[in-house]
C-alpha cells in the first residue's frame, strides 16, 4: 500500500504492517453554493441572500478527506476482528509472498 501524497508526514513500520500518519484539526464550510455557479444573476434584482445555507464542520483532515467512520468495538470484539483480519492477510501472503509469512 502506498501512502497518499496528501499526508504531510507518515511513517511505516519496518515489517510494513503498520502505518502512522499525522493529521491536523481543520474547519471547512460545507453547503455554501454561490448563485452565480447555478446561473444566477445577483444584479437582476430580487431579494439578496437566498443562497443555500452553509455549515462549518470541524475534524481531523485525514478522517474528513477519506470519509473514515468511527467504530464502536468492545475490547473482545476488536480482538476477534483483528484476529480474523490477520488470518486473511496471512492467507494472502502465503499465496503471494510466502517469505513474509515467517515474520508474522
| Tens digit of each residue's pLDDT (9 = 90 or more) over 84-101 | 999 998 899 899 988 877
Per-residue confidence (pLDDT) for residue 45, from 0 to 100 = 56
Number of domains in the chain: 2
Within a domain: residue 11? no
DSSP state of 6: T
Q: Are 31 and 56 in contact (CB under 8 A)?
A: no
Q: Print the domain residue range for 54.
A: 25-41+50-67
Q: Is residue 35 part of a domain?
A: yes
pTM (two decimals)? 0.48
DSSP state of 68: -
**Domain match, 59 and 88 both:** no
Q: Are residue 61 and residue 76 in the same domain, yes or no?
A: no
| Each residue's pLDDT tens digit, 39-75 | 666 665 555 555 567 889 999 998 999 899 988 889 9
| Same domain membership, residue 75 and residue 88 | yes
Residue 56 included in any domain: yes
Together in a domain, 78 and 94: yes
Amino acid at each position: 500500500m502506498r501512502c497518499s501524497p496528501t499526508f504531510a508526514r507518515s511513517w511505516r513500520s519496518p515489517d510494513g504492517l503498520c502505518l502512522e500518519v499525522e493529521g491536523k484539526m481543520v474547519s471547512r464550510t460545507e453547503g455554501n453554493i454561490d448563485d452565480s455557479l447555478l446561473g444566477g444573476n445577483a444584479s437582476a434584482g430580487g431579494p439578496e441572500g437566498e443562497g443555500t445555507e452553509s455549515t462549518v464542520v470541524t475534524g481531523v483532515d485525514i478522517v474528513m478527506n477519506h470519509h473514515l467512520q468511527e467504530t464502536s468495538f468492545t475490547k473482545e470484539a476488536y480482538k476477534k476482528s483483528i484476529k480474523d483480519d490477520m488470518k486473511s492477510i496471512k492467507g494472502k501472503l502465503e499465496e503471494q509472498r510466502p517469505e513474509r509469512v515467517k515474520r508474522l
